[in-house]
Structure 1
Amino acid sequence: MAPVTITKARKAYGHFEVLHGVDIDILDGEFVILVGPSGCGKSTLLRMIAGLEEISGGDIAIGSRIVNDVAPKERDIAMVFQSYALYPHMTVEANMGFSLRLARAPKDEIKRRVLEAAQILGLEHLLDRYPRNLSGGQRQRVAMGRAIVRQPQVFLFDEPLSNLDAKLRVQMRAEIKQLHQRLKTTTIYVTHDQIEAMTMADRIVVMRDGHVEQIGSPLDLYDRPANLFVAGFIGSPGMNFIPGKISQTGPIEFVAASGARLPLPEECPAERGREMIYGVRPEHLLINQGGVDATVSFIEPTGAEIQITAKVGTTQIVASVRDRIVVRPGDTISVGFDVNTIHIFDAQTESRI
């Protein structure tokens, strides 16, 4: 196990720069997830840590050693890919022990470590099978087992669950988290799925356009997003945003572009007349308990809750409710706001106030 320190890391392809001085400190034994939309640079950064992409500037250190110019095989890392990358002509046992055979490890040592990894992952009864005889989840476990037998200082996961169905993804999320709790190896995991990030990570690194937007625990990011992008990216459904400004006179209120007046805390730090964006998560909206009128657009029952999409003026919002309320498209409902759960963002800087 080892900490990973990324200092002002840059990556450019000719004149096109994709990472702009990234700084991240990952603690020894920590499970950190890099998350963001496609093209934000998260997979490129992971490949730079692995040594599969050259670094254009800055430093990457594993433990106390800067590895900018160290070959991938000498970095003491193990990587699990999205595509499994198993050898079809080799058994599960041979696939898992392949890297140890390349390193000329003793046969007894290879067998022992493969069996230990197989027991951790529940693969003991599959060691004689070939990849073509395995399910997607079993293949992913084999790929993880191949990484475990190397006993690396750092595990790297590159969107390993993207090829699995929804139910299997939930199962594999739990298995990977339990594996980390057992091995306590420093883990860096890349995904575009913010649900994966929220449920698995000790800390999340939210990236956009080659920059780090915010680093924090899942609940820190959810409860205290640094800016509009993080607020909208973390959470499903995403946070509702209503444009408007702080009232010029009278009580301190938020005046939406539609004219609706929404409550603000008495100690709101924003200056009067300033253009702002009012943010509230779907589960914090109060339906039919007073407030502003909204017109229902459509309803999505999910079982545990009902998601109601409605319009306040021209602004579309989503509410998540657990009560079995009966509404139909075209109905008018009232939407209330609790000042203890709202977020206010500057319309120009997009920073949270």
Structure 2
Amino acid sequence: MAHVSVNNARKDYGAFKAIKGVSVDIGDGEFVVLVGPSGCGKSTLLRMIAGLEGITSGKIQIGKHIVNELAPKDRDIAMVFQNYALYPHMTVAKNMGFSLRLKRMPRTEIDQRVGNAAKILGLETLLERYPKQLSGGQRQRVAMGRAIVRDPAVFLFDEPLSNLDAKLRVQMRSEIKELHQRLQTTTIYVTHDQIEAMTMADKIVVMKDGLIEQSGSPLELYDRPNNLFVAGFIGSPAMNFIHGSMGEDGFKTADGLLLPSERRPRDAVTYGIRPEHIRLDPGGIEVKTVVVEPTGSETLVIVRLGTQTLTCVFRERIRAAPGDVLKIAPIHDAVHLFAADEQRITSGEAPLE
């Protein structure tokens, strides 16, 4: 295991600046997820740590060593790619042990390491199969096994679940998290899926346009986002945003509707409330139902407030149809307010019920 430190790292492709001075510390044994929209620089940063991309300026340190000039094979890392990158003419066992054979390890040690990794990943009965005989999830396990046998200081995952179907993604998510809990190896994981980030990470690093917008624990980012981008990116369904201004009597929307708020007066602001922090209230604000999506455990309802659309998540089952009028109210302590520059003014901290 090893800590990883990235200090003011930059990556330029000619005039295009892909990474614009990123600094992040990843503790020994920590599971850190780099998350953000396509093109934000998260995969480029991961490839810089791996040594697959050069660094324009700054410093990358793994353990006690600055690795800026080291080849990937000398960085004591193992990477799991999105497309598995398995050799089709090799069996599962040979794929998993290939890097060890390149190092000219004894056959007995290779077999032992491959056997141990296969046991961890449930691949014992598949060792003599070829990649074309495996499912997507099994291929991903083989790719993970190939990384495990190297016993690296750092695991790097580059969107490893994006080629899997939804059900298998959920299963593999749990398996990767359980694997980390068992091995306690420092792990850096890239994804564009914030649900993966929330469920797997010890720490999330949210990136946008080559910069870090915010980093912290999943619930810290969820409960106290620094700005509108993080608030809208973290959480599913996404946070509702209503534009307007604060007055002495509360928040007034662009349509002139008054929403309750206990915050101090402020000029133009954005009012944010997560869907699960809106409740049904006989004395609340009237809204018109647009769409009702029952999921069994909860009901997702899209409503119209003036000219704006809001998403609500109710844990109780409700009988509503498009066009019906509902009365709703936000949980006051869960309201988030953002200034005109999109930075948070204050943030709610409603209890998770």
Give matches, 1:294-305, under 5 Å.
294-305=287-298
The reply on whether 1:163 has 2:158 as its aligned counterpart is: no
CA–CA distance in 2 between the matches of 1:48 and 1:296?
48
8 Å CA contact 2:291–2:321 kept in 1: the answer is yes
Unaligned runs of 5+ in 1: none
Q: CA deviation at 1:347?
A: 2.2
The reply on whether 1:309 has 2:297 as its aligned counterpart is: no
The reply on whether 1:351 has 2:337 as its aligned counterpart is: no
CA–CA distance in 2 between the matches of 1:11 and 1:291?
51
The reply on whether 1:83 has 2:83 as its aligned counterpart is: yes
Give the equivalent residue in structure 1 for 2:39.
39
The reply on whether 1:183 has 2:178 as its aligned counterpart is: no
8 Å CA contact 2:239–2:272 kept in 1: the answer is yes
Q: CA deviation at 1:273?
A: 4.7
Give matches, 1:24-35, under 5 Å.
24-35=24-35
Give matches, 1:223-262, under 5 Å.
223-247=223-247, 249=248, 251=249, 253-262=250-259
1:137-177 alpha-carbon deviations (Å, 9 max, x no partner): 11000000000000000000000000111111111011100
CA–CA distance in 2 between the matches of 1:273 and 1:151?
55
8 Å CA contact 2:228–2:342 kept in 1: the answer is no
8 Å CA contact 1:228–1:352 kept in 2: the answer is no
8 Å CA contact 2:36–2:192 kept in 1: the answer is yes
The reply on whether 1:286 has 2:258 as its aligned counterpart is: no
8 Å CA contact 1:260–1:292 kept in 2: the answer is no
Give matches, 1:98-137, under 5 Å.
98-137=98-137
8 Å CA contact 1:28–1:186 kept in 2: the answer is yes
Q: Secondary structure at the match of 1:330?
A: coil
Give the equivalent residue in structure 1 for 2:316.
323
Unaligned runs of 5+ in 2: 347-353
Cα-Cα RMSD: 1.0
Q: Secondary structure at the match of 2:162?
A: coil
1:305-344 alpha-carbon deviations (Å, 9 max, x no partner): 1111111111111000121111111112112122111111
Q: Secondary structure at the match of 1:340?
A: helix
TM-score by length of 1: 0.96
- The one-letter code sitting in structure 2 at the alignment partner of 1:308 is V
TM-score by length of 2: 0.96
Q: Percent identity?
A: 63
Q: CA deviation at 1:303?
A: 2.1
Q: Secondary structure at the match of 2:332?
A: coil
1:18-56 alpha-carbon deviations (Å, 9 max, x no partner): 111001000000000000010100000000000000111
